[in-house]
A and B are shown apart, each in its own frame.
Chain A
Amino acid sequence: MSDDQMIDRIRKGDQDQALDALYKNYPAFLNSFVKSGGKRNDAEDIFQDALLIFIEKILNRNFTLTCSINSYLFSICRNLSLVYFRDHQKKAGIKPETGDDQVSLESIEKFIERERQFSALDRILVRVGKKCMEILNLFYFSGLNMNAIAIKLGFSSEVSAKTQKYKCIEKARKLTESVMAELKTEWS
């Protein structure tokens, strides 16, 4: 699969094959990470975070890639590793990746901080129920319209699917607000 095809698939929400192709980079990353003194278990987390950052970047329509996808992914992995080694007070023979189109150390740090802050929320959100998560996922992630969602999930009409979606959002928003309040107390 060419780089352009991969980007196209990710943008269209058809990510499985693209992710499978990207995962082929994992052994090489693992090898270099372990050689630099990192732990195997942590390598997995870092690689997954790198994929997440990568997808987020690709989904930004203004983003254009000036190097190959694999190089780009490796540069994200490298900067994530740097933060990891720094936090673990380890010296690693890795130099930060800099350049106009690279993901900077600063944005990597922001990403880690954001994911840390919201990890509790992610865990709590599943309390809205499987069906709700399915509706919200199909709408916000897969980009299906409400008519298609109604057919897929067996709602009697588009209107009832829509009403259910709003009920789900409301429930999830209340959970979000409670977690946000807790986070704000923590931050203050």
Chain B
Amino acid sequence: MRGELERTARIESYLLGELSSADRQQFEQEMQQDAALAGDVEAQKILMERIRMISFRKNIQAAHKRFHHQKGISFRNSRFNGILIGVAGLVLIGLITYQLVRKPRVTARVELCHYIQPPIPAADVPFRSDTIDAGTVNILRYETGSMLLIPDSAFVDSKGNPVEGNVEIKFREFTDVFDIYLSGIPMEYTTDSGSYFFESASMCEVYATQKGKELKLKPGKEIEIVQASYTTREDFDLYRFDKKQGSWIGKGKDRPVEPGDLQKLKRVALTDREEDAAGYSYPELEQISRISQPFIPKKARPGKVNFSIAFEENEFPELAGFENVLFEIDESVKPFQEGDDAILWENVRIAAGKKSGSYRVTFTKLTQNLMAEYTAFPVFEEDDWEKALKTYNQKLDDYNRSYKDKVDQQQELIDLRLAKQEGIDSVNRAIETRNRKISKQRGADSSHEAGMAMYQQVCELNAKRLAILRSLYTPSRVVQRLIADQYSENNLLALHEFIETEFDNMLKREKEAFKTMDAYNKVMRTYSIDGFGIWNTDTPSNLPSGMTLSASFSAGEVSLSCNINLIDKNRRAVYQYPVKNHHHFRYNPLSDNLLWTVTQGKLYYFNSFNDIPPEQNNREFTFEMSKVDKPLTSYKEVKALLEDL
């Protein structure tokens, strides 16, 4: 290890030009003979260079942020800022004047509301709206199997006032990569260590409104979301999209639940509430009793023994601020031992005594194995007492003030905790209600088996239809009929068309049945949300790898110079390749891939990845994209088109 470090240090000295001429020559000779050393030198040189470049980029990006931040504020003229600071009253007039006399400049100001840009606005993922009564527990079920469990009294308006009556819940979920794409929600996740693409296990967007006005969740209340997913993997975290910043914010973890475990789903109560014989007690209240009250200063009594010792004011805040504090021995506990005052004690310890306001003072002299312990009260000499009384009055005021603040503060905490507990209780009630329903339903028709049976039935029916079609359309039969002149050309075409349509219908029915069966069989993920917006359980992933192409994209004679979307059907992520990255296009050849783009209202796609020979790796390749001529006018149509690619 040591040798390796020395080698690293030597390479650094060489690269920084710190070696003497002789050492340098020797090092270069060694490099010529030792390819590994030469390789290390090259790598270290590149490394030093890249560290500098990373730092430059970081500084430039910081300048970029500062620039846009300044531009985000309305004041764009530094001379004007001076006036603003100096004459606050003229701010508004100044602003208006400024806006009137100057046309807004073209700037690259970040448009806060445009982080979400659906690529085909007409085909954005639609919301489902439900009206609920805010006063009761509500369970909303969706076709995908997802559920919202909404506690009672969960909403407040923008001013924080409780909301009663009808509330509209708008909910949409993004069930696959196509939904994610169509929503236009950015799925890039940037951290200090770089940018990643989110692979999503489940994602949804939820809002509540009343008479068109957006509502908020009451502090302490949470909505439980049980969302259909495709995976039980646990490496996913919960994120919320910050629409103002255009970025994702980590919010902890979700909980994947197997279908069979759904019935068991129940949230636990808050654990830090303790129950005692008298009822519930709260640790917060105990904290209040720990605020030390100031003690009432007493005068030293004549003829009584007292002493003065130094103490840490931090340890005894009740004594802090008092000057010349003396400790008078409480001889009712233990009388003063004559001679103790003549000993030169080596150490003194002070601690709170058993009696209220008393202290236990222990004197020790370990060198002679001596110890004396007294209970004592703080007192003051006549001359200091008046001053101590003033300090006491001041401390009493402070104490009363801080006690009140603390009580208010703790009361708020308790209210919040009670509200949270109430929220958890009401969600639990909702879950119990739902669980009862599920149990009942399972008992009645055993949903999973019912789904399987229905799917099998459709498959069997299709098999029968296929057999009939085959018998109608055997070549020998067609030829016989043709010879017998029983089929005209038109008849034959009609038959062909009928069979084609029938095949399509069969496939559709089978697909639908599979989806239904799948819904019964789905994995669910559950998480709680404490606010409305876009929520997502994700794991950051890198671009796929395996094949790298310097890619270009065209459709016939048209060159497609636009953002390209790639999906690996085994991972639920959309990888976006902007034009600048086309020359470094990566995909996993072992996966099922699809790429597409929408430009000028037309959909272009490519799915023949198997036709790309492995030898093409790291070479130029032009993707010949197919164009879909159908109009892109609604979510359903576009989704169906993408699913069929």
Contacts and interface: CB of A to CB of B under 8 A. Distances in A.
**Quick one: which of B4, B47, B67, B107 has the most chain A CB within 10 A?**
B47
A3 B457 CA distance: 81
Contacts of A123: 193-195
B54 interface: yes
Interface stretch (A48-56, A70-78, A102-110): A48-56
Interface string A113-124: 001101001110
Interface string B1-24: 000110011001000000000000
Contacts of B64: 23, 44, 48
Interface stretch (A60-68, A93-101, A148-156, A173-181): A173-181
21 contacts: A15-B59, A23-B66, A27-B105, A34-B106, A42-B580, A44-B108, A45-B580, A52-B57, A122-B54, A122-B57, A123-B194, A123-B195, A127-B193, A133-B51, A133-B54, A140-B48, A141-B52, A166-B9, A170-B4, A173-B8, A180-B46
B5 A186 contact: no
B8 A89 contact: no
Contacts of B9: 162, 166
Contact of A173 (B40, B107, B583): B40
Contacts of A90: 561
A118 B60 contact: no
A27 B106 contact: yes
Contacts of A141: 51-52, 55-56
Contacts of A48: 57, 60-61, 64
B53 interface: yes
A177 B194 CA distance: 20
B579 interface: yes
A27 B50 contact: no
Nearest to B48: A140
Contacts of B51: 125, 133, 136-137, 140-141, 172
Nearest to A46: B580
Given A19-B60, A44-B108, A52-B56, A121 B561 contact: no
The size class of the interface chain A forms with chain B is: 35 or more
A56 B62 CA distance: 18
Nearest to A187: B618
A26 B67 contact: yes
B422 to A, nearest CB: 41
Interface in B291-319: none
Interface of A: 15-16, 19-20, 22-23, 26-27, 30-31, 34, 40-45, 48, 51-52, 55-56, 87-90, 115-116, 118, 121-123, 125-127, 130, 133, 136-137, 140-142, 162-163, 166-167, 169-170, 172-173, 176-177, 180, 186-187
Contacts, number: 130
A176 B51 CA distance: 11
Given A19-B60, A122-B54, A125-B50, A88 B8 contact: no
Contacts of B138: none
A3 B491 CA distance: 85
A15 B51 CA distance: 16
Given A15-B59, A166-B8, A173 B50 contact: no
Nearest to B193: A126
B63 interface: yes
Interface of B: 4-5, 8-9, 12, 39-40, 42-44, 46-48, 50-57, 59-64, 66-67, 105-108, 192-195, 548, 559, 561, 578-580, 583-584, 618
A169 B53 contact: no
A19 B8 contact: no
Contact of B67 (A20, A122, A140): A20
B43 A177 contact: yes
The 6 closest A-B pairs by CB, nearest first: A19-B63, A141-B55, A126-B193, A123-B194, A23-B67, A176-B43
A9 to B, nearest CB: 12
Contacts of B63: 15-16, 19-20, 22-23, 51
B47 A176 contact: yes
Nearest to B54: A122
Contacts of A166: 5, 8-9, 12
B319 to A, nearest CB: 36
Contacts of A136: 51
Contacts of B55: 137, 140-142
Contacts of B46: 118, 121, 176, 180
Contacts of A87: 579
Contacts of B8: 166, 169-170, 173
A170 B5 contact: yes
A130 B57 contact: no
A81 B633 CA distance: 36
Nearest to A178: B43
Contact of B50 (A41, A116, A118): A118
Given A89-B561, A121-B50, A30 B60 contact: no
B566 to A, nearest CB: 18
A169 B44 contact: yes
A126 B5 contact: no
**Quick one: which of A51, A87, A173 has the most chain B CB within 10 A?**
A173
B503 to A, nearest CB: 43
A180 B43 contact: yes
Contacts of A162: 9
B559 A89 contact: yes
Nearest to B70: A20
Contacts of B107: 27, 30
B116 to A, nearest CB: 15
